[in-house]
Amino acid sequence: MAEVTRVPLHPIAKGSLSKLWLGVAAAVLIAGGVAWSAMPAGVHVETVTAGTGAHPTVDDVVFLHYTGKLPDGTVFDQSQNMPLPIQGLLPEGQPMQLAGTVPGFQEAVLQMQRGGKYVVEIPADKAYGSNPPPGAPIPPDSDLTFEIELVDFMPLQEAQQRFEMLQRMMQQQMPQQGGSPAGPPPQGAQ
């Protein structure tokens, strides 16, 4: 049998092990910092007033109050309440199909809850990037800020049924309110 070559092990100098672990920890922190700074900025959602319940899904219609601002504070868009004649049929706020919004807006609203108020910062690459809609007051590569209140949300199919119901109700009320064009002239008209 061949003899194994023996290598004498010297004792570790006092404090060397601590220095080794500090070096490993520093290397990990530096690598993490480099990786973090290389990541693109994401959507930031700040909760102003917490909501309750479930979160909407991408297939939902949301009802919102919102104000959209450019980095200099200029308002470029603001929600409008729908003038609905029937209370309780549809929630107040502007209805919006979530699937049709820019990725950053969609990502932010998916994190919200009914009744909550939020401030959302969307980087340009998750908004309109270098191609804002023609005629929009949004310059290319603009980050956007939104103040959003999520009033309510519902599945697309339910929202469509409610809008159809509203349309039928309005059609039924129109002949009662204005009369038909072929009907008799109003009293006193000659």
Q: Which fold has domain 44-170?
A: Chitinase A; domain 3 (3.10.50)
Rg from Cα positions in the chain: 30
What is the domain partition of the chain in residue ranges? Answer: 44-170
For residue 84, give Cα distances in angstroms to 157, 164, 179.
19, 13, 22
**Rounded percentage of the chain residues whose pLDDT exceeds 70:** 67
Which pLDDT tens digit goes with each residue over 116-132? 999 999 999 999 999 99
Per-residue pLDDT, 181:
46
Which pLDDT tens digit goes with each residue over 13-22? 666 666 656 6
For residue 34, give Cα distances in angstroms to 30, 44, 77.
6, 21, 37
Give the chain's residues under pLDDT 50.
Answer: 36-40, 179-190
Nearest of 59, 41, 60, 47 to residue 124 by alpha carbon: 41
| pTM across the whole model | 0.68
Residues 121 and 44: beta-carbon distance below 8 Å? yes
Which pLDDT tens digit goes with each residue over 134-151? 999 999 999 999 999 999
Joined together, the tokens standing for residue 59 give 């297939």
Per-residue pLDDT, 182:
45
Per-residue pLDDT, 71:
96
